């Protein structure tokens, strides 16, 4: 490898085939796959969040999957700290870090850095959760707009997780999160003082391909034990505002298990919500291109399996990678 550390980013919407692509590239390039999805960090949600199977994990190293207890929210700052540790470890082993996921903010925390916000007192965090539970996201957005309009203007009134975060930062530090973000950041990720070099592959399949994939994935999740995972979550009586309790399929299956709707309706609503989420993901990547910090190759197709990757995209992707990082990839 060259003196500058290299990492590969694999980004794209839910159900686009990121995991299959990461697995195939990892085998080709001697990689370690590192999770960059905010829901796949949680334990107990392996089926619902489509985490890699035991068979897939046995083929090459996978990191940061199912690591966080659902009772404890995972922040971008926590993930960034952990992923830097895993990237350094992969580099020390002579392996290529391959960051795979759909959470754009996670990627940007590496390529651009994050605001250095002081620790938040527990009482401020508890207040934010209590307000969200008692009044709902729209009311919390209105409160935030009155107290910290700059931060509220950046957030959707339905984005409960980020609204709660913005409220706790304002209450806990006396400054809005927008103010902290405008004051500077950690800067791009570094390894022992040397900036990481990022190369990105972005999957951008047609909408109709995603809709079909979402429906197929939902059916597979039900067959794989998704209801059992939701039953286990409900048995713990966790705060419904926690991110893990709002993972795709959890609210809908929870309602079905409580008898509030039928299984068919739960599936319809879940697939609709996932479809809307993939639209927001696509919008995010259009307006915040990974190309700002990384050479990016876009694939306008869905990678349905590792076999499909090997047959239809392998030469194309490897040619792209080697054309810009000649001599730096394991096995190049």
Question: Which pLDDT value is given to residue 332?
Answer: 47
Residue 68: beta bridge partners? Answer: 42
Rounded-to-integer distance, Cα 168 and Cα 126, Å? 8
* More reliable by pLDDT, 80 or 331: 80
Q: Check the annotation: does 88 bind a ligand.
A: no
Class of the CATH-defined domain 6-114+186-324: alpha beta
Question: Which pLDDT value is given to residue 288?
Answer: 63
Q: Among the residues of 195-262, which ranges form H helices?
A: 207-224, 226-235, 250-257
Per residue in 170-227, pLDDT tens?
Answer: 999 999 988 887 766 788 899 999 999 999 999 999 999 999 999 999 999 999 999 9
Please provide the DSSP assignment of 285-308 as one string.
Answer: HHHS-GGGTEEEEEE-S---SHHH
76 has a pLDDT exceeding 70: yes
In percent, the amount of the chain with pLDDT more than 70 equals: 94
> Mean pLDDT lowest for which of 43-47, 143-147, 241-245?
241-245
CA atoms within 13 A on the CB side of 308: 11
Q: Check the annotation: does 187 bind a ligand.
A: no
Q: Check the annotation: does 17 bind a ligand.
A: yes
Pick left, alpha or beta for residue 301 (phi over 0 → left; psi -120 to 50 → alpha; otherwise beta): beta
Rounded-to-integer distance, Cα 149 and Cα 153, Å? 6
- All structural domains of the chain with their residue ranges: 6-114+186-324, 122-182
Q: Among the residues of 95-249, which ranges form H helices?
A: 104-111, 122-135, 137-147, 149-152, 160-173, 177-182, 207-224, 226-235
> Mean pLDDT lowest for which of 57-61, 172-176, 297-301, 307-311?
307-311
**253 contact partners, CB below 8 Å, separation of at least 6:** 226, 227, 230, 266, 270
Q: How far is CA 313 from CA 21, 141, 264, 310, in A?
A: 9, 44, 36, 6
In percent, the amount of the chain with pLDDT more than 90 equals: 67
Alpha-carbon 207 to chain mean position? 20
**Does an H or E element contain 281, and which?**
helix 263-287
Q: Check the annotation: does 113 bind a ligand.
A: no
Class of the CATH-defined domain 122-182: mainly alpha
Q: How far is CA 109 from CA 46, 89, 115, 181, 256, in A?
A: 25, 19, 9, 12, 37
Count of CB atoms within 10 A of residue 309's CB? 21
Q: Check the annotation: does 16 bind a ligand.
A: yes
Question: Which pLDDT value is given to residue 181?
Answer: 76
Q: Do residues 262 and 268 lie in contact, with contact meaning Cβ atoms separated by under 8 Å?
A: no
pTM of the model: 0.84
Rounded-to-10 torsion of CA 217, 220, 44, 50: -30
283 has a pLDDT exceeding 50: yes
Pick left, alpha or beta for residue 201 (phi over 0 → left; psi -120 to 50 → alpha; otherwise beta): beta
72 has a pLDDT exceeding 70: yes
Q: Do residues 33 and 62 lie in contact, with contact meaning Cβ atoms separated by under 8 Å?
A: yes
294 has a pLDDT exceeding 70: no
Rounded-to-integer distance, Cα 266 and Cα 251, Å? 9
14 has a pLDDT exceeding 60: yes
Question: How large is the angle between the packed helices 226-235 and 207-224, nearest 10 degrees?
Answer: 70
**148 contact partners, CB below 8 Å, separation of at least 6:** 166, 170, 176, 177, 178
Rounded-to-integer distance, Cα 123 and Cα 184, Å? 26
Per residue in 100-148, pLDDT tens?
Answer: 999 988 998 999 888 888 888 889 988 998 898 899 999 999 999 999 9
């Amino acid at each position: 490898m060259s003196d500058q550390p290299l990492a590969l980013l694999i980004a794209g919407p839910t159900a686009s085939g990121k995991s299959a692509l990461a697995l195939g590239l990892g085998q080709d390039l001697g990689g370690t796959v590192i999770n960059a999805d905010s829901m796949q960090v949680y334990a107990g949600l392996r089926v619902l969040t489509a985490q890699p199977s035991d068979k897939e994990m046995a083929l090459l190293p996978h990191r940061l999957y199912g690591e966080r207890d659902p009772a404890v929210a995972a922040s971008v700052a926590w993930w960034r700290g952990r992923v830097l540790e895993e990237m350094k470890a992969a580099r020390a082993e002579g392996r290529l870090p391959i960051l795979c996921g759909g959470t754009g903010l996670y990627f940007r925390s590496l390529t651009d850095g994050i605001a250095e916000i002081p620790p938040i007192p527990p009482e401020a965090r508890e207040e934010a959760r209590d307000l969200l539970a008692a009044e709902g996201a729209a009311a919390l957005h209105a409160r935030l707009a009155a107290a910290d309009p700059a931060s509220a203007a950046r957030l959707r009134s339905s984005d409960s997780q980020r609204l709660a975060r913005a409220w706790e930062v304002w209450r806990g530090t006396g400054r809005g999160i927008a103010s902290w973000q405008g004051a500077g950041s950690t800067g791009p990720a570094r390894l022992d003082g040397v900036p990481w070099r990022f190369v990105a592959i972005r999957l951008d399949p047609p909408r109709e391909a995603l809709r079909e994939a979402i429906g197929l994935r939902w059916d597979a999740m039900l067959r794989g034990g998704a209801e059992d995972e939701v039953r286990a979550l409900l048995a713990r009586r966790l705060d419904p505002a926690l991110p893990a309790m709002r993972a795709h399929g959890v609210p809908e299956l929870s309602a079905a298990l409580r008898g509030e709707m039928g299984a068919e309706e739960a599936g319809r609503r879940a697939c609709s919500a996932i479809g809307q989420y993939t639209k927001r993901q696509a919008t995010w990547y259009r307006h915040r291109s990974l190309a700002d910090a990384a050479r990016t190759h876009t694939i306008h197709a869905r990678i349905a399996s590792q076999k499909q990757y090997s047959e239809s995209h392998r030469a194309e992707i490897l040619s792209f990678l080697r054309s810009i990082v000649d001599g730096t990839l394991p096995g190049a």
